[in-house]
Structure 1
Amino acid sequence: MIQVAQIIFILSVLVILHEFGHYITAKWFKVRVEKFYLFMDAGFSLFKKKIGDTEWGIGWLPIGGYVKLSGMIDESMDTEQMNQEPQPWEFRSKPAWQRLIIMLGGIIVNVLLAWFIYTTMYTTVGKKYISTEVLQEKGLAFGEVGQKAGFKNGDKIVSVDGEFQENFNRMVMDILFSSEVIVNRNGQNVTLNLTDQQIKEILDKEGRNFIGRRTTSITIDSILPNKEAKKAGLKVGDSILAINAKKINFFDEFISTLKSQKQDSVTVTVFRGAAQKDIRVKVDKKGELGFRVKPTVKEDFLITKKMGLFEALPAAIKESWSLLVYNVKSFKLILRPATGAYKQVKSPIGIARQLPDAWDWEFIWNFTALFSIGLAFMNLLPIPGLDGGHALFTTVEMITGKKLNDKAAGHVQTFGMIILLTLMALTFGKDIYQLIADKFF
């Protein structure tokens, strides 16, 4: 329920402010706003109240919201008024440049919101990120798919497309978007170029977990029930030193050694208390013993940089711009079917499932800023039915001096809405299916 509450709160903030951008610019140019709705009121609304010319309401379907402007074919698909003579207060009666500003109003507010949130966060809790330099000090560890793509345990990232990314989480994304990755391997620089098929395997099988810190400490954090580690007498707190008298320096070496000894027994040397102890343990068919190690504490690699207002303002602008660039790169990756990136697109249901179980204001505001830029980018796309589609036709009108007639505009809007509703149905369906599968299968 906490996850649901968080996504509803975030969506409410974003939708209200996005639509307010359209509302306030429409009011500036004396356009009548007939409706202002949070969420969609298909068939009926949960709440509505008319104040002046505007009906304010909350719909039952949490997939967005809208403002209905007089004299405009929009999400409501109300074309009846378009058969009447244009009135001075209608959207269609205004100059093209005013209509363009109204269309871009929501996008502008989304960008300003992200800028405001990041400025506030940087001046209060500070800018926080996982340091790539600190985390990969002893090298990086890669999953099977990452190694298959050409990475090797111990590699250090030198650059991705010619640049070094100080934020480790961003660096992982950069690799998936990259044309060229240069790693330092045993003192030598090695160039890697990921193929679409390799990216697909990473996304399908390991995701962000295909790369991580190379762990040197192997301390048992928990023993799994009915597994070989418990039967053999391994205990929580034991530190693994060697396998079959071979010293183990990194956790990935420990894993690879076990994989090569499937269904055999190995002698594990552990440090317990103040002494070393050799324990004979059988390796199961998966190449595992049956325990979990202590997880990496992200705070060990966390950089916190608190800023004054005049430093935070440009830093927040830079961050907002970077996120917009990442959205462009993500979209380009989605348009490459061979990568399978389109499968990663999520509906609010899928997004909610990734949110933390506890209410965390710092996380929520950071996620809201991230989502706000994503919403701005999505609405910039020149797709009929989105703000970007309206803005495109208005821009063409300003250049050519020719306006799309109302009938054609209606057909274009209908086509755009069909595309959007189809995409929404597919993403919602996928996430609902996944939710059910995770619960019952």
Structure 2
Amino acid sequence: MEFVIKISQFLLSLSLLIVLHELGHFIPAKLFKTRVEKFYLFFDIKFSLFKKKIGETVYGIGWLPLGGYVKIAGMIDESMDKEQMEQPPQPWEFRSKPSWQRLIIMLGGVTVNFILAYVIYVFASFAYGDTDTPVSSLKDGYWIESPLLKDLGLQTGDKVLKINDQKIVNDSDIAANLIKANSITVERNNEEKVIALPEDFLGQLSSRQTKTLFEPRIPFMVAEVADSSVNKSVDLKEGDIISAINGQELKYYDQVESLKKNITKGEDVQVVILRDGQTLTRTLKLSDKGEFGIRPGYDGKRFSEMGYFDVIKKEYTFGESFGAGWDKFTKTISSYGDQLKAIFTPSTGAYKGVGGFKAIFDIFPSVWSWQAFWMLTAFLSIMLGVLNLLPIPALDGGHVMFLLYEMISGRKPSEKFLEKAQMVGFFILIALVLFANGNDIFKAVFK
């Protein structure tokens, strides 16, 4: 069921982004009386799942979900329709239109991507507001589970003060600043310590199985008892909080491992649980593998009410949501730009973290959440827009690059040159797709 929910969100988001991106090319093309021969969701190599001709355009759904396209008459694109290009230019063709019209047509897709992301951020701000945790409210610091952070000298209980010279106010500031981080300043035992990060920190992070970094310290709340657990028959309910093990206080879930060191495998364990304001005792067993077989849960609102940390929610009026949406939009573009810069700087090792369709699929939650869906769709829309602006022939950015050259120099590149450039760009794109999805396969098989 979890797979069905994830794949449904993934395909819905991807389809929405592709259709709207291509619509961004389609609308100005039609406004400038340019013939659009095809409008496709996904690629129709050899055959289509569905197609219908309306007017001069064939609308369809292909079988290969790697994107989509509009085929504009008289344009050198991924179709490489040389036969059409060998005919005399016709007034309804792309190549016959003024350069400024062609530029608007080519920029239409990414323009829609950016507008869509901004609109989503505006309505998300109005509908959901912003929720964050002030780092000052984490009285006992963060839970450091990542082996990489431990190797660098970070410890559970550290309070994050700064990343580089940027003061960290809210929990969300950490992820936003880690991309360019070369040092982290923490407070430990009332003393400040500066932890230096290696230049290839992002690369090392991508190479590790555990991607968790700074996690708020939370109590041991029961989410589920595994069917294979030795404690399956014990009276435990979802939401129970285990507050003591064998008479020793258990304030945080991260303390479980140290307490288990004093328990013999297979031994019975007395625990105290909190349930609906009552204190109860139960007997658990530690399995031969040293496990309780209990999956921990997370409830930020409840933990906040229990005093573990503060959760601050900021709500916006409809008017205020435009400013809040713009702030999210610009910060996301800036952050994604920093990611691309790191990826194209080999010394950072960030290229190791580049992922393909599986990586995108994995970011969607296993439970349906409209808030998460729309926020992820906005991010992916920005990602699609920025990537399409890269000056690679076969991408929108490549076409724009040649159009700007034409407008500045007054000379239009020859169709033969554009055909060769399109072919080079196509092979570059194939190489990038293979690299990104190859990374996914490598991580799945060897890690």
Of residues 173, 180, 183 in structure 2, which corresponds to 1:180?
Answer: 183
1:32 aligns with 2:35: yes
Q: Deviations over 1:255-294 (max 9, x none)?
A: 35656x79899998854699999x9998978xx5535474
CA distance in 1 between partners of 2:343 and 2:264 (Å): 42
| Aligned residue type for 1:41 | D
Aligned partners of 1:39 and 1:65 also within 8 Å: yes
Tell me how far 1:114 sits from its aligned partner.
1.1
Of residues 409, 432, 437 in structure 2, which corresponds to 1:423?
Answer: 432
Task: From the superposition, tell whether residues 224 and 75 of structure 1 become closer, same or farther in structure 2 (CA, over 3 Å).
Answer: closer
| Aligned residue type for 1:138 | D
Say how many residue pairs are matched: 430
Q: Deviations over 1:84-121 (max 9, x none)?
A: 23233222222322222211111111111111112122
Of residues 66, 78, 83 in structure 1, which corresponds to 2:81?
Answer: 78
Task: From the superposition, tell whether residues 296 and 135 of structure 1 become closer, same or farther in structure 2 (CA, over 3 Å).
Answer: farther
Task: From the superposition, tell whether residues 193 and 384 of structure 1 become closer, same or farther in structure 2 (CA, over 3 Å).
Answer: farther
CA distance in 1 between partners of 2:91 and 2:49 (Å): 32
Task: From the superposition, tell whether residues 293 and 48 of structure 1 become closer, same or farther in structure 2 (CA, over 3 Å).
Answer: closer
CA distance in 2 between partners of 1:2 and 1:280 (Å): 34
| Residue segments in structure 1 that go unaligned for 5+ positions in a row | none
Aligned partners of 1:224 and 1:290 also within 8 Å: no
Please state which structure has a larger fraction of its residues in helix. Answer: 1
Task: From the superposition, tell whether residues 137 and 175 of structure 1 become closer, same or farther in structure 2 (CA, over 3 Å).
Answer: farther
| Residue segments in structure 2 that go unaligned for 5+ positions in a row | 305-309
| Residue in structure 2 matched with residue 390 of structure 1 by the alignment | 399
| Residue in structure 1 matched with residue 130 of structure 2 by the alignment | 128
1:412 aligns with 2:421: yes
Q: Deviations over 1:193-226 (max 9, x none)?
A: 31144433333325541221123x4567777789
Tell me how far 1:181 sits from its aligned partner.
2.5
Task: From the superposition, tell whether residues 218 and 82 of structure 1 become closer, same or farther in structure 2 (CA, over 3 Å).
Answer: closer
> What TM-score, normalized to structure 2?
0.82
1:113 aligns with 2:112: no
Q: Output aligned runs, 1:126-275, within 5 Å.
A: 126-133=128-135, 136-143=138-145, 144-164=147-167, 168-169=171-172, 171-205=174-208, 207-215=210-218, 217-218=219-220, 239=242, 241=244, 250-256=252-258, 271=272
Q: Deviations over 1:141-192 (max 9, x none)?
A: 2123212123222222222243345553452352243233222333333333
CA distance in 2 between partners of 1:165 and 1:390 (Å): 41
CA distance in 2 between partners of 1:271 and 1:2 (Å): 36
| Residue in structure 2 matched with residue 95 of structure 1 by the alignment | 98
Query: What is the identity percentage for the equivalent residue pairs of Structure 1 and Structure 2?
Result: 35
Aligned partners of 1:122 and 1:305 also within 8 Å: no
More displaced 10-residue stretch of structure 1: 405-414 or 391-400 = 391-400
Aligned partners of 1:220 and 1:291 also within 8 Å: no
Tell me how far 1:412 sits from its aligned partner.
0.9
CA distance in 2 between partners of 1:253 and 1:383 (Å): 51
| Residue in structure 1 matched with residue 307 of structure 2 by the alignment | none
Aligned partners of 2:19 and 2:41 also within 8 Å: yes
| Residue in structure 2 matched with residue 367 of structure 1 by the alignment | 376
SS of corresponding position for 2:23? helix
| Residue in structure 1 matched with residue 365 of structure 2 by the alignment | 356
Aligned partners of 1:33 and 1:54 also within 8 Å: yes
Aligned partners of 1:258 and 1:283 also within 8 Å: no
Tell me how far 1:397 sits from its aligned partner.
2.5
Tell me how far 1:20 sits from its aligned partner.
0.8
Aligned partners of 1:39 and 1:66 also within 8 Å: yes
1:346 aligns with 2:355: yes
| Residue in structure 2 matched with residue 55 of structure 1 by the alignment | 58
| Aligned residue type for 2:372 | F
Aligned partners of 2:222 and 2:297 also within 8 Å: no
CA distance in 1 between partners of 2:354 and 2:32 (Å): 37
Task: Give the alignment's Cα RMSD to 1 decimal.
Answer: 3.7
Task: From the superposition, tell whether residues 52 and 152 of structure 1 become closer, same or farther in structure 2 (CA, over 3 Å).
Answer: same
| Residue in structure 1 matched with residue 13 of structure 2 by the alignment | 10
CA distance in 1 between partners of 2:376 and 2:279 (Å): 47
Q: Deviations over 1:298-356 (max 9, x none)?
A: 33455433212221112111211111112112222323445543343333344234423
More displaced 10-residue stretch of structure 1: 266-275 or 377-386 = 266-275
CA distance in 1 between partners of 2:42 and 2:93 (Å): 24
> What TM-score, normalized to structure 1?
0.83
| Residue in structure 2 matched with residue 45 of structure 1 by the alignment | 48
SS of corresponding position for 2:215? strand
CA distance in 1 between partners of 2:241 and 2:327 (Å): 46
Of residues 295, 298, 315 in structure 2, which corresponds to 1:296?
Answer: 298
Aligned partners of 1:240 and 1:269 also within 8 Å: no
